[in-house]
Structure 1
Amino acid sequence: MTRIAISGHRDLSTAVENLVDHAIRDELSRFDPSELVGLSCLADGADQIFARAVVDLGGKLEIFVPASHYRESLPSQALDEYDELMSYAVKVHNLDHVDSTSESHMEASVQMLQHADLLFAVWDGLPARGFGGTADVVAHAEAIGVMVTVIWPDGAVRD
């Protein structure tokens, strides 16, 4: 099995989401779907784009839920996709936190990386905007020896 974790930017424009979706699917095409496990927290943006691609390609999903109030912290437009993707999970790892905070998000990423062979980072290469952002997750992956594939397609920008 190849176990790929995801970390990436949220609040992407529709145009950037489409670029990221295409780039993620291109990267995932290198793997045998029957041997693929995607690891995600299912946040809006890169996490959900990645999880949807894994499911569409026939891979399995493991979900890491940072806190019991995590779902409620997501934007309302991301909830239907969160619920649908959650229904595909072969395993759900629920962390002990109640509130959805940057600390609980980082802890979920750390735990996710402990189960990963590779990290896909949908990342513009800039420092994290807050603790637990993609740059922090990339730094942790590198520190523990998890390989990182940065995905930031030409034409992608963040506001």
Structure 2
Amino acid sequence: MGVTGHRSIPAAVLPSVLSGMRGQLSAEGRLEALSSLAAGADQLFADIALANGVPVTAVIPGMDYEAHLGDAETRAAYRRLLGSCATRVDLPVEDTHEEAYYAAGRWIVDHSDRLVAVWDGRPARGPGGTGDVVAYARRTGVPVTVLWQPGVGRD
């Protein structure tokens, strides 16, 4: 099961996102969580997976990824989660960060039986964003579970 989602999740949406993730990751059977460990949805998903004993595969875009993750707290969480992952997949280098992120999103979709999307339903703000990954999953027939509260927008 893979994840895609926004880096910034409004407080009004967070409780339902966390509840939805817990529900998805507590399903019966053999589970594996695929995440790029980015800020926001990716890190939350990985944390919940690990807390539920679900192994996590880190899918790392082929750029200097950690340096582009944001603030020191986000980078520290990335390193902590990466150290707890069962598997790490390093993708080939792409020409731009956006292309690298989209390649990681496609890899996650291509290796998942379903996708959890923390998504406000709007188009991606940049190439390879959440909306693009959801559209790719839908085009390729991978079921998508959207976790978001209707009517709530992002900052």
What TM-score results when the alignment is normalised by the length of structure 2?
A: 0.90
How high is the sequence identity, in percent, across the aligned residues? 38
Matched residue SS, 2:57 = strand
1:45 aligned partner, one-letter code: G
> How many angstroms apart in 2 are the aligned matches of 1:26 and 1:156?
21
User: Size of the alignment, in residue pairs?
Assistant: 154
Matched residue SS, 1:63 = strand
1:60 aligned partner, one-letter code: P
Q: Which runs of 5+ in 2 are unaligned?
A: none
Matched residue SS, 1:36 = coil
2:80 to 84, 93, 101: 84
* Distance verdict in 2 for CA 1:63–1:113, change over 3 Å: same
The CA RMSD measured in Å over matched residues stands at 1.9
* Distance verdict in 2 for CA 1:111–1:21, change over 3 Å: same
> How many angstroms apart in 2 are the aligned matches of 1:140 and 1:150?
14
Q: Which runs of 5+ in 1 are unaligned?
A: none
> How many angstroms apart in 2 are the aligned matches of 1:90 and 1:131?
29
- On the 8 A contact 1:69/1:98 being kept in 2, the answer is no
Where does residue 25 of structure 1 map in the other structure? 22
Higher strand share: 1
2:23 aligned partner, one-letter code: D
Where does residue 47 of structure 1 map in the other structure? 42
